[in-house]
Amino acid sequence: MTHPHGSTGERDQLGPSGDGTVMLDIGPGRGALIVHASAAMVGVELEIARTNPGDARSHMAVRKRVGPRGDRYAAIFPSLPVGEYVVYSPDGAAGPVVTVTSGTIAELAWPPANV
């Protein structure tokens, strides 16, 4: 998938992230979203956008996350204004809506059961 800013993906640019290397900027008016995925999705970009018509999408690649409890795979959106977001599948289809609230971390398993 090609993005308007010229990126064709982060697949070859980013390796695994280690324990404690992701910083979340959450608090009043901001939250975060973690989309848990499988190892097969490493490098795949997932997009989100607020549910307001016309809002721009942002994207993050699924990366291997190395931690004390073993390896996990996720796309992490570290700081989002509160609100409802649509998560889009890699083929661009609209998926579930996730609510981001102040000072919290919303989580979603990908692919969701209903997609």
Domains and their CATH numbers in the chain: 1-115 (2.60.40)
Q: Is 100 exposed, middle or buried (0-12, 13-18, 19+ CB in 10 A)?
A: buried
pTM for this one? Answer: 0.82
**What tens-digit pLDDT sequence spans the chain (115 residues)?**
334 444 444 444 566 665 556 789 999 999 999 999 999 999 999 999 999 888 899 999 999 998 888 899 999 999 999 999 999 999 999 999 999 999 999 999 998 875 4
Find all residues with CB under 8 Å of 7, minimum gap 6, and list them. Answer: none
